[in-house]
Amino acid sequence: MKPTHIEHIGIAVKSLEEAIPFYENVLGLKCYAVEEVKDQKVKTAFFQVGQTKIELLESTDPEGPIGKFVEKNGGGMHHMAFAVEDVAEALNEAAAGCQLIDKAPRTGAEGLQIGFLHPKSTNRVLTELCGKK
Ligand code: ZN
């Protein structure tokens, strides 16, 4: 599938409001978008660093995936997303050697197509594939 770059790194936080000042005041980045993704029960905040984004994830529901992760770990690095041309095709290719969470792409933040690979198959790093189609 040849990913072109790290599209974003997803970081689970208890509160966007509490987390954003570190990225803005210490790292000097600018939060350019805050978006709710209802499907994933999160509110996201984005920062651009070169070709890569930092995606902060705040849960909107304690029963959602990020809500459970924060409850268990207190927050922290949650997933890494690789940019690919075609997510459906990349998931099909990955299926040969890897357990999938998503068998088909779904729509994530910023209107991008996304699909997750299971951490069991990715050295325990929750891995997302992300692209325009
Ligand atoms: Zn993501």
Q: How far is CA 52 from CA 8, 26, 77, 125, in A?
A: 5, 18, 15, 17
Centroid of ligand 1 to alpha carbon of 9 (angstroms)? 7
| Residue-level pLDDT at 111 | 87
Q: Which of 20, 19, 5, 22 is nearest to 84 (CA)?
A: 5
Centroid of ligand 1 to alpha carbon of 117 (angstroms)? 12
Centroid of ligand 1 to alpha carbon of 55 (angstroms)? 7
The SS3 call for residue 74 is: coil
- List pLDDT tens digits, range 110-129: 889 999 999 999 999 999 99
- Average pLDDT, integer, range 9-37: 97
pTM: 0.92
CA angle 122, 31, 112 (to 5 degrees): 50
Mean pLDDT rounded to a whole number for the chain? 96
Centroid of ligand 1 to alpha carbon of 130 (angstroms)? 8
